[in-house]
Amino acid sequence: MATVTATLYQFTMADVEDPELYAAQPLWEWQQTDYGQWCMEHCVQEPVYNIVPDMNTYGYRCVVRGQLEEQDYTFHQLKWSGHVDFRR
C-alpha cells in the first residue's frame, strides 16, 4: 500500500544549550494527547523528529514527521489538519 510522509507536529524553542533536552517534554506531552496517540498508532513506522535552527526566532524548531497509509492520511487531513501550524 502507498504511504505519505506527513508533518504531524512542530513547535519552536528558544536558543537553548541542549535542544534535545528541552524538546523531550513537549514531545512527551504531545504523545499523551488524543491526536498524538492516534499518530503513534497509525504511522507505518514510528514517527521521527528533527531539530533544526529557526532563523526567524534565532532558536530551534522541532518537527515530527511520520508515514501514513493513504487512507489514514486522508483521515488525518480531514480530522486533524488544524493541529499542525506551518506558519510558526
- Domain enclosing residue 65, as ranges: 3-80
Helix (H) or strand (E) holding 30: helix 19-32
Residue 85 lies in a domain: no
Q: How many domains does the chain have?
A: 1
| pLDDT per residue of the chain (88 residues) written in tens, 0 to 9 | 799 999 999 999 999 999 999 999 999 999 999 999 999 999 999 999 999 999 999 999 999 999 999 999 999 888 887 766 543 3
Report phi then psi at 56, rounded to 5: -70, -35
Residue 32 lies in a domain: yes
Residue 66 lies in a domain: yes
- Does the global pTM surpass 0.75? yes
3-state secondary structure of 44: coil
Residue 8 lies in a domain: yes
Residue 14 lies in a domain: yes
Residue 87 lies in a domain: no
Residue 11 lies in a domain: yes
